[in-house]
Structure 1
């Protein structure tokens, strides 16, 4: 699983079971202008619940219901701030070591850690994951089944050997991901149940730039993101001549997505055979929009009518989900074999 394409904007479609997730993203950056060197984001069911960065040095709740944690644990956010603050130098050091490891010192560099767990509340099954990435690619990840580390890059093999030999650390991480993390996830879901369990249906529009352009089926305002949007013909889902986009966040916490249909080879009399279908997990009825010229919004002669409200995620989430992919010439460093020695950082929710 690529950390930088993720990761986390994956919809769980056409299933009845409800899977909840708790994810943490630690992102350290080098030479990114006007951006904190270290950012931490915590998310429950892909909803941001906590934020920390090295500029403010304060962990803050991002949902009103997250303030309920203070009732049970008054020191929660203070303790979280101290934990995150204590890891700043470790992350900065790791970037410097990785620059040396990859023999590229100049330019922008991004170091990421993604970890968390998922919980199926019907089957009561849990699974955890822990991955490290550097400059847009996987660096090393933990296989909880074998309790060993997977190193897809040659530069990570030294780290793999060291971490494989640290049995105590691996045992702790397995306990965290399979016991401690799910316990906190269940607690957060309970705090935010009313908000997390809500279901908002979208408005669906058909959009087209020119008469020969693909027709875009655009759904916006839905929540949660466990949804699917697709074109079908005569009741069968289409896979050719379609281009499906990712699920993207709106500024109000809801989501949006689009799927294009190429119409150049569709005869006018066959349009009635096509429709766009929106499906959401846990919602019985689909939203079906027929391919009909009379309802297509176009900018042909009316540019203001063709406004697709593509709201980009914040710079923080883009980095956390891999938005930063840089292609620039970088200066080389003198070769060396420094190791990443301090990545056993304390978990925010360990107890």
Structure 2
């Protein structure tokens, strides 16, 4: 059974994010050599790849960007095309740095900023990776670069010496990026600031498997999903899954509870609780064998409708090109494309 509990609580503030990614690859079949995707509050907003050669909006409300910058999409296309060429060189440079020849290799850059719309607190970040490992990371506080691997020390020293560029990055992450994030949130306010409650199901693959509490269709992704026993949160024998994207822009999450050591008569003491930011109601689902969807009983595990895949993993490359105000095309491209030589 599912019911609501009304609580009077102090809810957390809304922390918005602008995350931009570049991914360049070599040796990966049937995948573009360069991809750029942008996300606002984890919602994909724009996309570019080396096959299409065009930056395009992924949300209708992103068309409003041209009101603040004429030719916005042409500019984004030119930036991505320029960086596509630079990243091809970058992969070759890093392969030499790591004494590599052929094979599959991937260079990734993630950068962006965060803004708390209640406290005004902000943060910026820029992380460069190679073959799935951190390569260099920008320290916003010291305006210097951190090199977690020996092969990155050369790059760190070179970029640390470019104090002018680092000052600009600090300015971008603390001002320009925040300004654009606020604009994007304004463009998509009706979408980004909405709240959607999920459907919550209890699932079990076999009689001896853990019981999975699965919530799908919620928005935003600022949630908490957990098991309780007699009203107290359970931490032992619990396995939390990651928050995943659904195809319709909402999210899903699961949390497993191992009941192998729990007596059948004690199952009724357990409940799954879902909490969504900004909503004063908890969705509480009591652990009742009659409502568990199984692979062996009358109630079979089904896939959610509306394009939501209960056990599917929606993989989304989060990549996007830089947006820099009041900069020439060359300066825009230079923000994150400093050479790695």
Q: Which TM bucket (shorter chain)?
A: 0.7 to 0.9
Matches within 5 A, 1:183-202: 183-202=179-198
RMSD, matched Cα: 2.0
Structure 1 counterpart of 2:140: 144
Matches within 5 A, 1:293-308: 293-301=289-297, 304-307=300-303
Structure 2 counterpart of 1:36: 32
Match status 1:224 vs 2:225: no
Match status 1:157 vs 2:160: no
Find the residue that maps to 1:50 and give its secondary structure: strand
Structure 2 counterpart of 1:206: 202
Q: Cα 1:102–1:344, aligned 2, differ >3 Å: closer, same or farther? A: farther
Structure 2 counterpart of 1:8: none
Matched-pair contact (CA < 8 Å) for 1:207–1:306: no
Instruction: Please give the alpha-carbon distance, in whole angstroms, between the structure 2 residues aligned to 1:286 and 1:301.
Output: 29
Find the residue that maps to 1:305 and give its secondary structure: coil
Matched-pair contact (CA < 8 Å) for 2:204–2:294: yes
Q: Cα 1:115–1:15, aligned 2, differ >3 Å: closer, same or farther? A: farther
Find the residue that maps to 2:281 and give its secondary structure: coil
Find the residue that maps to 2:317 and give its secondary structure: helix
Structure 1 counterpart of 2:286: 290
Q: Cα 1:269–1:231, aligned 2, differ >3 Å: closer, same or farther? A: same
Structure 1 counterpart of 2:3: none
Instruction: Please give the alpha-carbon distance, in whole angstroms, between the structure 1 residues aligned to 2:69 and 2:311.
Output: 39
Give TM-score scaled by structure 2 length: 0.87
Instruction: Please give the alpha-carbon distance, in whole angstroms, between the structure 2 residues aligned to 1:272 and 1:343.
Output: 63
Structure 2 counterpart of 1:309: 310
Instruction: Please give the alpha-carbon distance, in whole angstroms, between the structure 2 residues aligned to 1:79 and 1:345.
Output: 10
Matched-pair contact (CA < 8 Å) for 1:199–1:224: yes
Instruction: Please give the alpha-carbon distance, in whole angstroms, between the structure 2 residues aligned to 1:304 and 1:236.
Output: 30
Shift of 1:304: 4.9
Which runs of 5 or more structure 2 residues have no equivalent in the other structure? 1-9, 304-308, 320-329, 337-341
Structure 2 counterpart of 1:335: none
Match status 1:76 vs 2:72: yes
Q: Any idea what the Cα deviations from partners look like across 1:101-132, whole Å, max 9, x if unmatched?
A: 11122211110000000001101111100100
Q: Cα 1:126–1:146, aligned 2, differ >3 Å: closer, same or farther? A: same
Instruction: Please give the alpha-carbon distance, in whole angstroms, between the structure 2 residues aligned to 1:177 and 1:290.
Output: 45
Shift of 1:314: 4.2
Shift of 1:34: 0.9
Structure 2 counterpart of 1:133: 129
- State which of 235, 242, 246 in structure 2 corresponds to 1:246: 242
- State which of 227, 231, 236 in structure 2 corresponds to 1:235: 231
